Amino acid sequence: MITSDLILSKARSSGMCIGIGAGADERKVIESREEAIAQGFGDVIVYHDPLLLAQDLLSGEIDAAVRGDLGSNQAMSAVRSVFGVHKVLRAAFLEPVGGRMFLFSPVGIDEGWTVEEKIELAELSVRTLLPITSRPVVGIMSGGRSSDRGRMAEVDRTIDTAAEVVRRLTSEGIDARDVQILIEDASKECDVLVAPDGISGNLVFRTLHFLGNGKALGAPVLNIDRPYIDTSRAKASYADSIALAAVLAARKMA
């Protein structure tokens, strides 16, 4: 089972070099850097230029990157430009209060709207988790219970989409399950959860993290081959995101 404590313990003495972006709230970034170094999560370099952060990540000057409090548009634009991807796909490490940690997507409002994107998010999430936990369980959500079919065309579409995604993932040998709208049950058994679309996913993330005080370590960009952790500027500290970056970077070098 994945926990925030497991991530932090794996990050200690990793020896990784992590870059973190600093924007308007540089003091919080500096304090996070000092906390991460004190905890043994590696060497941490502060960047003020989102493009340089992405370029140094690609070139290997740093082992992993954390967005910090850089503006989302500028940071993700730099990632798309430097790594040559049309859209970034992200999944967030979430740990609800009193619950188990899972990798949750989509968290960007424009992500996860098609069958193909949901499959890609699930496949990449499984690949991200494999060094941390063996044979991750994937839950695909829809907009209602199966018994709700016929109440509304849009709900029916999400039910059909979830069934198709599960069918195709299962054919690839992935342990995928149709968890319907029952996130309260799915979160107890799944290591990966895929929401019906980017808007509902973003709302779930914000509700669990900002209203429910759940832990959010950060959201790795899944569709690039170097660890880049997207973060919310509302986080009190980025030290745990630096730890996550270090763990994923060490995995790449294993």
Instruction: Say which residues have a Cβ less than 8 Å from residue 10's Cβ, sequence separation at least 6.
Output: 132, 247, 250
Question: pLDDT tens track of the chain, all 254 residues?
Answer: 788 888 888 899 789 999 999 998 899 999 999 999 999 999 999 999 999 999 999 999 999 999 999 999 999 999 999 999 999 999 999 999 999 999 999 998 989 999 999 999 999 999 999 877 788 999 999 999 999 999 999 999 999 999 999 999 999 999 999 999 999 999 999 999 999 999 999 999 999 998 999 999 999 999 999 999 999 887 889 999 999 999 999 876 44
- Closest among 96, 75, 93, 117 to 184, alpha carbons compared: 96
Total count of residues recorded for the chain = 254
pTM: 0.91
Closest listed residue to residue 3, CA positions, set 93, 90, 91: 93
Terminal Cα distance for the chain, rounded: 21
Largest Cα separation within the chain, whole Å, is 56
Please give the domain boundaries of the chain with CATH numbers for all domains. 1-88+224-254 (3.40.50), 92-215 (3.40.718.10)
Determine the pLDDT at residue 3: 83
Are 193 and 204 contacting, i.e. CB atoms less than 8 angstroms apart?
no
The alpha carbon of residue 37 and the mean position of all alpha carbons in its chain are separated, in whole angstroms, by: 23
Do residues 3 and 215 lie in contact, with contact meaning Cβ atoms separated by under 8 Å? no
Q: Rounded distance, CA 58 to CA 227, Å?
A: 10
Residue 127 CA from chain centroid, whole number? 12
CA atoms within 13 A on the CB side of 98: 2
- Axis-axis angle for helices 50-59, 72-83 (nearest 10): 30
Amino acid letter, residue 156: D
